[in-house]
């Protein structure tokens, strides 16, 4: 879909359906349609439409024997409407256009849109237009996608960046939605390599032999039960000239998580193609960075593996030596993500970045704690964690900080024949998983762990999300990297 800026008065575009974004109990933006404003306002009153956020109403009006279609989209209270309200309004508008089978439309959200509003609306329009239908032989009528939206007074640079953000998220969504018979560690590595080639990024892929030679027995152990061996992916964005800072993004890349020998029951195994969401978010971010070109060096790091039960699978009781030298005792083969991340975080630490952010669909416990729409945030540096939380409030990616200072909980990880054991009981499961990861982050590196088990994949569409993969994490990480670039 195209999003373009235009600046014509309503009279010159009246053949195209028009969406008008209004505030709650402030319909000032209706002024754009001149004489129609009063009629529309009367209908809104009659229909009891208030302009609350996440609401939309369609109003067909007859004049001179032609029907003009208006859509009024609510932004909520004017003083509370932030960028995420604009983003959601854009998405809700497009979703409705799709449903009404309208291919092209205009949108009005104010006379002069600033950079951030233009970006948010463009992003919302593009995300709302997304659906995963590549395997449907007969394209569902409902899924006709919108071809073009003209945004009145849109700020070009905002629209451009909004598109790049949306593309990064859509790239991640498309990858996550692919099933395990299509995306496995080998094909994921190939996709990373192709992406790097197309966008001028560096990319190193380590095969199962090199993985073992590097001492990554943790990643190797998790992957060795599968007919498709693991791969380690290192993709790099380097700006021209001296970078202002260096950051590593680590993504959990389980292309499928059956649980391994501690096999999951059917209900819990279903959707476990999404266990690569962190990895796919990293790739989506790398793609966007290649186009945004910030003055920041960014390393994308993924341990890709498939967790399967077989004669060659790793077992409960196994003791594994990780790349860091620390040993892990396996209590449960279904707590595999943290094992692969042990090697990935150690490798990332060796690059000596200032910051590491890891994204992982790590624990069901995090979903129990926070619900399925909020990611758990864990950090060894409160200032860094708080900065990400602040950014996430603007991006609309809900995150909530969970504690890392519980010494009694931490002790449970040490009750082992090895240096550390991979589970520590049911209570505080998201926290003990994060504490496990922290063991593999080198001293002095500022680290945030995002447990995205809930928001990475949805049962139902809403706002700018469609059913299935969300691309969660892409937006906030990109904003964070841009904030380093801008020095804000």
Residues of the shown chain interacting with ligand BES in the complex, contacts defined by CB under 6 A: 257, 275, 332, 334-337, 361-365, 423, 429, 453
- What are the φ/ψ torsions at residue 225 (nearest 5 degrees)? -80, -10
Using the rule CB under 5 A, give the single segment among 161-169, 185-193, 298-306, 336-344 that binds Zn ion.
336-344
Which of 296, 237, 352 is closest to 480 using CA atoms?
296
* Number of residues forming the site for Zn ion (CB under 5 A): 4
Nearer to ligand BES, 292 or 365 (CB): 365
Neighbour-count burial of 47, counting CB atoms closer than 10 A to its CB (0-12 exposed, 13-18 middle, 19+ buried): exposed
| Residue 233 binds: one of Mg ion, Zn ion, ligand BES, none (C-beta under 5 to 8 A by kind) | none
Residue nearest to ligand BES (CB): 364
Q: Is beta strand 355-360 parallel, antiparallel or unpaired with respect to 446-451?
A: parallel
Residue 338 a catalytic site member: yes
Q: If you search the block for the tokens 């990480």, which residue do you land on?
A: 477
Nearest approach, Cβ of 342 to Zn ion (angstroms)? 14
Closer residue to Zn ion, CB minimum distance, 40 or 375: 375
Of the candidates 402, 404, 397, the residue with the CA atom closest to the CA atom of residue 454: 397
DSSP 462: B
- Indicate whether 306 belongs to the interface with Zn ion (CB under 5 A): no
Say if CB 170 and CB 466 are below 8 A apart. Answer: no
Name the minimum Å distance from CB 358 to Mg ion.
16
Instruction: Identify the active-site residue in 338, 398, 410, 446.
Output: 338
Q: How far is the CB of 274 from ligand BES (least distance, A)?
A: 6
| Spatial CB neighbours of 44, under 8 Å, sequence gap ≥ 6 | 27, 51, 57, 59, 72
Q: Does 331 contact Zn ion by CB under 5 A?
A: no
Positive/negative CA dihedral, 424, 405, 449, 393: positive
Closest-CA residue to 361 (of 255, 276, 268)? 276
Which partner, Zn ion, ligand BES, Mg ion, none, binds residue 277 by CB below 5 to 8 Å per kind? none
Smallest separation, CB 336 to ligand BES (Å): 5
Distance, in Å, from the CA atom of 73 to the CA atom of 239, rounded to the nearest integer, reads: 40
Residues within the interface to Mg ion (CB under 5 A) = 257, 334, 336
257 is an interface residue for Zn ion by CB under 5 A: yes
| Minimum distance of Mg ion from residue 469's CB (angstroms) | 18
* Contact status: 260 vs Zn ion (CB under 5 A): no
Q: Which is nearer to Zn ion, 253 or 396 (CB)?
A: 253
Tokens of residue 400, six digits: 């909530």
Instruction: Closer to Mg ion by CB, 169 or 221: give it.
Output: 221
Q: How many CB atoms lie within 10 A of CB 252?
A: 32
Tell me how far, at minimum, the Cβ of 10 lies from Zn ion, in Å: 52
Distance CA 16, CA 21 (A): 16
Q: What are phi and psi of 279, to 5 degrees?
A: -60, -45
253 touches Zn ion by CB under 5 A: no
Which residues are registered as beta bridge partners of 254? 305
Task: Tell me whether residue 51 or residue 473 sits nearer to Zn ion (CB atom).
Answer: 473
The option from Zn ion, ligand BES, Mg ion, none interacting with 429 (CB < 5 to 8 A, set by class) reads ligand BES
User: Residues 160, 264, 326, 393: which is the catalytic one?
Assistant: 264
Cβ atoms of residues 393 and 375 within 8 Å: no
Q: Which is nearer to ligand BES, 43 or 319 (CB)?
A: 319
Residues annotated as catalytic (active site), given as ranges: 264, 338
Q: Which residues bind Zn ion (CB under 5 A)?
A: 254, 257, 275, 337
């Amino acid at each position: 879909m195209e999003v373009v800026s235009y600046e014509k008065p309503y009279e010159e575009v009246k053949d195209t359906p028009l969406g008008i974004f209004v505030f709650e109990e402030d319909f000032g933006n209706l002024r754009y349609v001149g004489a129609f404003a009063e009629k529309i306002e009367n209908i809104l009153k009659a229909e009891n439409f208030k302009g609350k956020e996440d609401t939309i109403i369609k109003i067909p009006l007859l004049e001179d024997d032609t029907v003009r279609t208006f859509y009024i989209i609510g932004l909520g209270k004017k003083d509370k409407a932030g960028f995420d309200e604009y983003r959601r309004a854009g998405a809700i508008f497009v979703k409705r256009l799709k449903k009404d089978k309208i291919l092209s439309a205009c949108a009005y959200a104010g006379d002069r849109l600033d950079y951030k509003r233009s970006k948010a609306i463009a992003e919302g329009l593009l995300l709302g237009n997304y659906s995963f239908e590549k395997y449907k032989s007969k394209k569902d009528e409902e899924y006709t996608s919108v071809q073009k939206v003209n945004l009145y007074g849109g700020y070009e640079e905002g629209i451009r960046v909004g598109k790049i953000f949306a593309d990064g998220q859509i790239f991640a969504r498309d990858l996550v939605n692919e099933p395990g018979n299509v995306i496995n560690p080998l094909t994921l590595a190939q996709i990373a390599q192709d992406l790097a080639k197309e966008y001028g990024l560096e990319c190193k892929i380590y095969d199962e032999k090199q993985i073992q030679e590097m001492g990554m027995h943790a990643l190797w152990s998790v992957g060795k039960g599968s007919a498709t061996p693991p791969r380690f992916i290192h993709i790099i964005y380097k700006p021209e000239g001296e970078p202002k800072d260096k950051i590593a993004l680590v993504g959990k890349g389980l292309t499928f998580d059956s649980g391994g020998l501690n096999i999951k029951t059917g209900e819990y195994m279903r959707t476990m193609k999404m266990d690569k969401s962190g990895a796919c978010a990293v790739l989506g971010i790398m793609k966007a960075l290649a186009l945004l070109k910030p003055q920041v060096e960014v390393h994308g790091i993924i341990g890709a593996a498939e967790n399967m039960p077989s004669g060659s699978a790793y077992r409960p009781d196994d003791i594994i030596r990780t790349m860091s030298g620390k040993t892990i005792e396996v209590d449960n083969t279904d707590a595999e993500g943290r094992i692969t991340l042990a090697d990935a975080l150690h490798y990332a630490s060796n690059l000596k970045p200032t910051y590491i952010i890891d994204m992982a669909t790590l624990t069901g416990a995090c979903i129990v704690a926070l619900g399925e729409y909020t990611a758990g945030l864990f950090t060894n540096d409160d200032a860094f964690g708080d900065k990400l939380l602040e950014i996430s409030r603007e991006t609309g990616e809900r995150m909530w900080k969970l504690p890392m200072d519980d010494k009694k909980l931490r002790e449970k990880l040490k009750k082992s024949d090895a240096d550390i054991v991979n589970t520590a009981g049911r209570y505080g499961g998201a926290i003990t998983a994060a504490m496990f990861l922290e063991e593999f982050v080198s001293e002095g590196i500022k680290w945030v762990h995002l447990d995205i088990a809930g928001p990475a994949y949805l049962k139902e569409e809403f706002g700018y999300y469609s059913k299935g993969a969300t691309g969660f994490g892409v937006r906030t990480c990109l904003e964070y990297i841009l904030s380093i670039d801008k020095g804000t």
